[in-house]
Amino acid sequence: MLAMRTYEYHHIISFEETNLVGNVYYANHILWQGRCREMFIREYAPDILTELSQDLALITLRVSCEYLAELFAFDQILIRMRLGTIKQNRIPMLFEYWRITQDREELVARGEQEIACMRRQGEKLIPTAIPSSLWTALQPYQIS
Ligand code: SSV
């Protein structure tokens, strides 16, 4: 089987992300999905940032997370992002959250989100093709 390529984002959990009980507040997992996709753009298609300040809009259509284990301050997390099946202007992303320790990697959460490429036209949002730089950056992550 052909292994699907992943984009990796590393994160070390801070006390600011934990709650009174000491474990990570659930909403942070969604923030990390956001950081992961942004770092991908920053690394592989930075011109998208300029476009976003003009008429491009990358609209988040859905987000989810399935929590498998509690996380704590100083845990080292590796987020692996995979590309789902692109349909028209929509880009689905799949996330695996791994806790990394000296001797093992533990799957601690799974997530998904989908964005749509749109352009602002006055008050309206009009569907638009995936911008070419982003499309090119995504190609190595498509399963053939
Ligand atoms: C302003 C804003 O909302 C930015 C959104 C950024 C979206 C980035 C999407 C990147 C998708 C990357 C998919 C890569 C799969 C391996």
Token output for 132: 């070419």
At 3 the pLDDT is 65
Please report where in the chains the tokens 């956001």 appear, as a residue. 34
What ligand 1 atom has the least distance to the C-alpha of 45? 10
Q: How far is the CA of 38 from the centre of ligand 1 (A)?
A: 6
At 4 the pLDDT is 82
What's the mean pLDDT when you consider all of the chain?
Answer: 96
List pLDDT tens digits, range 75-119: 999 999 999 999 999 999 999 999 999 999 999 999 999 999 999
Strands 124-127 and 105-121: antiparallel
pLDDT at 142 over 80: yes
Residues with CB under 6 Å of ligand 1 are 7, 37-38, 40-41, 52, 58, 81-83, 91, 93, 115, 138, 141
Q: How far is the CA of 26 from the centre of ligand 1 (A)?
A: 21
